[in-house]
Amino acid sequence: MQFSIIDFIVFFGYCFIILGLGLFIAKRKATGDSEGYFLASKSLPWWAIGTSLLAANISAEQMIGMAGSGFAIGLAIASYEWMGALTLILVAKFMMPIFLDKGIYSMPQFLGLRYDERVRAILAIFWLLVYIFVNLTSILYLGALTMETILGFPLTYGILGLAAFAAIYSVYGGLKAVAWTDVVQVSFLVGGGLLTTWLALNAFSGGNGAIAGFVDLFREAPGHFEMILDSSHEFYYELPGISVLIGGLWVANISYFGCNQYIIQRALAAKSVSEAQNGLMFAGYLKLLMPLIVVLPGIAAFGFGADLARPDAAYPWLLGEFVPIGLRGLAFAALIAAIASSLASMTNSTSTIFTMDIYKVHFNKAASEKNLVLTGRTVSFLALLVAVLVAPQVENFGQAFQFIQEFTGFVSPGVVAIFLMGLFWKRATANSAVWAAIFTLPSAFLLRWLFPALPFLDRMGVVFLFLCAIMIAVSLYETSGKDPKAIEYKTNMFRTGTTFNVGAIGICAILSVLYILFW
């Protein structure tokens, strides 16, 4: 794909804007303490929380990987986005008040308060391994692969360039620099993404407009607009029919949006509980919009009959075929915005967990604030370095988005069981959480070995129920009353404001209409 001078001006202009803004915020708002570095001094308003959450969430695995799944499977893959919007509402109402009441920095820290330091350490190590060796590496690889496809940059140079771009401002500035640059990045992400979709649909209609293109695409590829797949469908294993709505996808979403440091950290940095809740609700509306940006392009590529070596090439192919010279820089900037913001968020969350849950607890309990910030910056750099070294090995995964979901799905059931039982069952004990953590991977792998045809989302649901049963059995065996560290709910803890309630009802109504239309 050829870039004009205007394209390069737009693209490099975006890069300079983000780097300049990030370094300006890092320098101007640097506090030198751990709360300032890891939680942005708890100063984020709702709109910054919502946009930053979306920027962290949408990356190469969505822009490239989910578009690839849209090409191969169709609109059904949008359930990850649309059900995610509903999950954010539930997390905001029932989980955030407890997290913010505890004044925590990280998700493992909450587990330490609710259970004990063993559970905290186990889950901290789990997350560090997943963040570095699955998420960071896959984001770097897919981002660099896109740069190689579109600009012809060698894969290695793309990986190094993306890592350096994210590191320049995020390693020094912490969450403040990440969150405030995300506000700008989301503008590029949404604007450039919608532009690409509009151009593709307009081309599909022969120049009669995007709406006409959507109607034509729906008419010519009806099988790609089914939200609930039949058991005979080629990709039923990835999205197993109605159980997507009532089964394992809930485990994946609660783990990702409710228990995941990478996502929830910006809500922990909110000015207040209401700001956090409204921010998550705002992010829910943005999630409803995302299939237009990350799924429809893949379906459009299928409608055009694109001859692709692999599904994940759908989005780059679309950019090269239908985005004209002069606008390619904006569309490509949207991709880089998604990749860079996710890299920055992931490295900051990795450093938060290591610094606050490993280093401070096990290596230097008397660490000064200056020392904690220095450790956080060092770990951010090292995490990116390791990911750069591993990223070139991430190949031959077919649909990258599905690979990531299945791999993290081995851990998610245990995470959700431990959190939900700890949050909402007063008798859950620390030993029960340890046993759930111990059985998480063996039970998932055993079930996969015994029933290889069982869809991985269904497998997640079964493993989740099994681990909950283990926690209940161990807890009942150990004690006849509530656990000494059980959560005490304060009066009106789960009461939400009018703005949040109206917004939540709106999301539920929109989802109902979408699933009725595309059932």
State the CATH number of the domain containing residue 190.
1.20.1730.10
Evaluate whether residue 232 is within a structural domain. Answer: yes
Query: What does the DSSP assignment read for 436-486?
Result: HHHHHHHHHHHHHHH-TTS-HHHHHHHHHHHHHHHHHHHHHHH-SS--TTP
For the whole prediction, is pTM greater than 0.85?
yes
User: Do residues 349 and 271 share a domain?
Assistant: yes
Domain final residue pick, 401, 431, 449: 401
Evaluate whether residue 43 is within a structural domain. Answer: yes
User: Do residues 277 and 207 share a domain?
Assistant: yes
Query: What does the DSSP assignment read for 321-347?
Result: HHSPTTTHHHHHHHHHHHHHHHHHHHH
Burial label for 318, CB within 10 Å (0-12, 13-18, 19+), is buried
User: Do residues 336 and 437 share a domain?
Assistant: no
pLDDT of residue 287: 93
User: Do residues 341 and 473 share a domain?
Assistant: no
pLDDT of residue 423: 95
pLDDT of residue 402: 53
For residue 355, which of 327, 330, 381 has the smallest C-alpha distance?
A: 381
User: Do residues 394 and 416 share a domain?
Assistant: no
Evaluate whether residue 336 is within a structural domain. Answer: yes
Domain final residue pick, 385, 401, 417: 401
pLDDT of residue 400: 52
User: Do residues 308 and 447 share a domain?
Assistant: no
pLDDT of residue 154: 83
pLDDT tens for the 519 residues of the chain, in order: 567 788 888 888 888 888 788 778 777 655 567 787 778 778 889 999 999 888 888 776 677 778 888 898 989 989 989 999 999 999 999 999 999 999 998 999 999 999 999 999 988 998 898 888 888 888 888 788 777 777 777 888 888 888 888 887 777 777 777 777 878 878 877 887 888 899 889 988 888 888 999 999 999 888 889 888 888 888 888 888 888 888 888 998 999 899 988 889 889 999 899 999 999 999 999 999 999 988 998 999 999 888 887 787 788 788 777 877 777 777 777 777 778 778 888 888 899 999 989 999 888 888 888 898 889 889 988 998 998 888 887 665 544 555 565 667 788 899 999 999 999 999 999 999 999 999 998 999 999 899 988 888 899 999 999 999 999 999 999 987 889 999 998 888 899 999 999 999 999 999 999 998 888
Phi, psi of 304 (to 5 degrees): -75, -10
Query: Domain residues for 257?
Result: 5-25+39-401
Evaluate whether residue 499 is within a structural domain. Answer: no
User: Do residues 426 and 394 share a domain?
Assistant: no
pLDDT of residue 439: 94
CB 68 within 8 A of CB 312: yes
User: Do residues 225 and 140 share a domain?
Assistant: yes
pLDDT of residue 398: 47
With b meaning 16 or more CB within 10 Å and e meaning fewer, what string describes 332-359?
Answer: bbbbbbbbbbbbbbbbbbbbbbbbbbbb
User: Do residues 276 and 300 share a domain?
Assistant: yes
User: Do residues 318 and 418 share a domain?
Assistant: no
The number of distinct structural domains making up the chain is 2
User: Do residues 394 and 477 share a domain?
Assistant: no
